[in-house]
Chains A and B, each alone.
Chain A
Amino acid sequence: DAKTTQPPSMDCAEGRAANLPCNHSTISGNEYVYWYRQIHSQGPQYIIHGLKNNETNEMASLIITEDRKSSTLILPHATLRDTAVYYCIVAAYNTNAGKSTFGDGTTLTVKP
């Protein structure tokens, strides 16, 4: 499975959009991009995933570049409760989840 690279930390002002980047230059054609987040001391929580089209749900939007080598998770109006570690994971659909890893993620701090 492809590896991902994320910045270790980012800050965002409350109410503003938080844009979290992820590089996955070795992604294969059948691999999806998944995003999870982990709020302090809790288990990780699924946010969103996509293949090549942009995706949006009630939590966030996912923008994937045309060459699929990078993506951006967007939290449109960040709140203090969005402070968490955000993980970008690349994995093929319907493959054993035991083959992919979380990595170290990006620590997002939302400031008042």
Chain B
Amino acid sequence: NAGVTQTPKFRVLKTGQSMTLLCAQDMNHEYMYWYRQDPGMGLRLIHYSVGEGTTAKGEVPDGYNVSRLKKQNFLLGLESAAPSQTSVYFCASSYVGDPWDTQYFGPGTRLTVL
């Protein structure tokens, strides 16, 4: 049981490049989330999903797109990366019943945009 995994762990992009971050969970969770965390700050929710085939905007969705084609995977895309998107990205998943009781996080992806 691997829990929540994220790929890649580190990435450096040039401004304007695109990339996709992959999050996978093996706990059969319905909900999945993408957060970003800038240095010295708390986590901010980018997008989330309440089930396969659904997505919704969080607190800071601009510049990102997401897809949840399979229940176990949640993809975060940056179509044209900007230096302001330099951050650590965390994925999380949880059960439906009490999501804050059961939110499990991945190890994070450290992204630098030059």
Contact = CB atoms under 8 A, between A and B. Distances in A.
Contacts of B27: none
B77 interface: no
Contacts of A105: 42
**Interface size classification for chain B:** 20 to 34
A100 B44 CA distance: 10
Interface of B: 4, 31, 33, 35, 41-45, 48, 50, 56, 58-59, 88, 90, 92, 94, 96-108
Contacts of B105: 42-45
A46 B108 contact: no
Nearest to A85: B42
B65 to A, nearest CB: 16
A44 B45 CA distance: 13
B90 to A, nearest CB: 5
Given A41-B108, A43-B92, A96 B99 contact: yes
